[in-house]
Structure 1
């Protein structure tokens, strides 16, 4: 669950009456409103509203009573609305997809952890210049994709000792030492259970 379109609309349209004296600085209130709105649009928790200083002005400003009501509403929403970061939602959906792919009726399914899959999926290598020996990026990326697919399917990983990568030639490519070291890591990975 995240911020509803209605909640976002309330913050978008929030306006406060001007007062002749003793109000809050309009700029401070607007900065608070925009920070809250930005967080809500990004499906993030609200910033600490109590920590945001609202200066009073002896002349003019906006209604302190209306701003206090707005802050109370935001505090209630913050306490009662479960906000999940988009990355967590995506991770949960990916986990469900992986579980569906790896669920079988027999006991031959290997159970690779999400951490292992993330390690392979998110691995980055240093790109080296044209003058150096390097591995073709696409060949390495294709091999790592095949490893993740095997993990999702719950089967044995493609044997790293048979992985072959073309030289990047005159193009930039991955540092071969880093790739070879990671292949050794893959060779020693074990499924859980």
Structure 2
């Protein structure tokens, strides 16, 4: 598993958040604190932080609680930080694969399939909508896309799309919308290398 390079500043913003209270209708302090403790633990361990749903947080209608907007904004920031780390890691991996493939022998270049840059960019930049129901595990779909990109970079046949199977996302967790992924796989089966 790739480590996520969380900085002490990231951890400090989670451990000591500036979240204002409101007299009624805010999020239950204990619920928010439990999420913040979990996020801080993942950050300190260098692990990725999955998307945080505020829908699981209870509202405190008779007692003071955290104002919803700052809590939602903080969780949104964490998601954006994670997305930026994921993009940087994915770009680095793709660049490393491209470097390795470019150093292949010229004799094998003649037998290579010619996947165009546009085709590779199309696969690399594919973004699936998130869903809670009928959703595939994100890691499995991303791993398959990585295998497709490796095959394209090496000028090889694509992995067998027909036999690609993904586990459904665990109950209560979001994943990639299965309809969108299946539609992408249908398009991928029709993709041909340039002549």
What TM-score results when the alignment is normalised by the length of structure 1? 0.47
What TM-score results when the alignment is normalised by the length of structure 2? 0.47
Q: Which has the larger radius of gyration?
A: 1
